[in-house]
Structure 1
């Protein structure tokens, strides 16, 4: 008996699926909006979001301004999210919030809309337009719904995206600093500007210690390869960068490298200071 059940179970499941597909295709081609609504909800409850989405897509325009419109619009937005069509999900959640700002689902729609853009955020080395949009949406959600059950997750996503943006900005500054080792002054000038902007934009960054060390490297490269008329000024700027690094990180992990650079800076500076002493 058990063997017979095992033999016929796949066949029975196949017939059920065939019947389900047949019903889906029939209703999909039908003009009966109510039938599509009922089947869409059935698929939604069964977590068959792809079929539910197709049906909700068809009927959503028919329910605009009707009592069920809010429910249909939310389900349409969520099914886009569940099938990982995050561009459409973000757009549809925005439409939902504009149409139903006082909905009981407003907080969830705001969160899922923000999460849609979070899911579109690329790795740190690529353009961060979607990351910026996701951060804007997440911050909007956090400010508007501070008591939401989704708050902790939203904060975690915002922190992750902020770190991603920090990393991109830091890598740019780091790259300019490496290029500055080629003795091309423009690269060192760009490196100093990029590092200053990075520290200003991300004061609490986890990369702060290394950024301050890179500032020393960039200013040292600039000073040691500078023209004579700007050299003393730039050497003194490098000296200040060294002091700032030790001020904030007296036990810095870059101590050996920093001291070696400062030795070269002091050697050059001593010539100018000896001249100043002699001229007095």
Structure 2
């Protein structure tokens, strides 16, 4: 019985492949168009976009060109080739700014780049591209039913950018005085991240790195500079504890304050 089912499946696959190869070589573009749409519906996205790439040019200037281009982009998207799909979605909404699928094209262009966004420690060019596309989607379609989802995506991607800066500032902090004053670099990196993204969920962690880096810099300073630098640490402490009085870093911050206060009172 299993053998019969296997043979039937094999025959079905061979027949399907034969039909596809036949339509691929055909010059009946209407038949190709219908086959491509049917392949798309059956989730055979490779077949769909292979046929549609030709049809977009063939149908140029017709209504079918618009739908073919959108389905071409969606086929690549659903096949998880987000970079290629983004290019086609962009091509679509550029050529059809008021087209039937323009809202969807703008959304999926950004969402595809979001799905393709690399982890925080890697280059974030793709993340910036995703944010830019999603922001433009909101600019053009502020009342879209997908507007909240787009805004949530932007916030998530911005947090990823902040997290990358958190990793960078932590790295500087860990390097300490190795080949230069890395504590100062840690402070500057963290401060810039807070300034650019003041509502990030990583703000407390960044603020704590600033406090710790300033404390280490003061502790390792020459005697003449210690008092002034510890005063700066105390100012930073008050700013931190005012924002996060019950945060997970509050105890460590208070320990830093007690040590800094001793130097200032001397």
Shorter-chain TM-score bucket reads: over 0.9
Alignment partner of 1:42 is 2:42: no
Instruction: Tell me which structure has the larger Cα radius of gyration.
Output: 1
Alignment partner of 1:84 is 2:104: no
1:195 and 1:172, CA in 2 relative to 1: closer, same or farther beyond 3 A?
A: same
Distance apart, 1:37 and its partner CA: 1.5
User: In 2, Cα distance between the equivalents of 1:248 and 1:183?
Assistant: 31
Distance apart, 1:213 and its partner CA: 2.1
Distance apart, 1:164 and its partner CA: 1.1
Distance apart, 1:111 and its partner CA: 0.7
Give unpaired runs (5+ residues) of structure 1.
272-280
Q: Which residue of 2 aligns with 1:139?
A: 135
Q: Which residue of 1 aligns with 2:145?
A: 149
Distance apart, 1:89 and its partner CA: 0.3
Q: Which residue of 1 aligns with 2:97?
A: 101
Distance apart, 1:125 and its partner CA: 1.0
Equivalent residues, number: 266
Give unpaired runs (5+ residues) of structure 2.
none
TM-score, normalised to structure 1's length? 0.88
TM-score, normalised to structure 2's length? 0.92
Given candidates 215, 240, 252, the residue that maps to 1:220 is 215
Given candidates 112, 119, 122, the residue that maps to 1:123 is 119
Q: Which residue of 2 aligns with 1:261?
A: 256
Off by >6 Å, runs of 4+ in structure 1: none
What is the CA deviation profile of residues 161-207 of structure 1, one whole-angstrom value per residue up to 9, with x for unaligned ones?
A: 12211211111112222222x57761111111112112212211212
Q: Which residue of 2 aligns with 1:71?
A: 67
Alignment partner of 1:162 is 2:149: no
Moved more, 132-141 or 152-161: 152-161
Q: Which residue of 1 aligns with 2:54?
A: 58
RMSD: 1.9
Alignment partner of 1:250 is 2:250: no
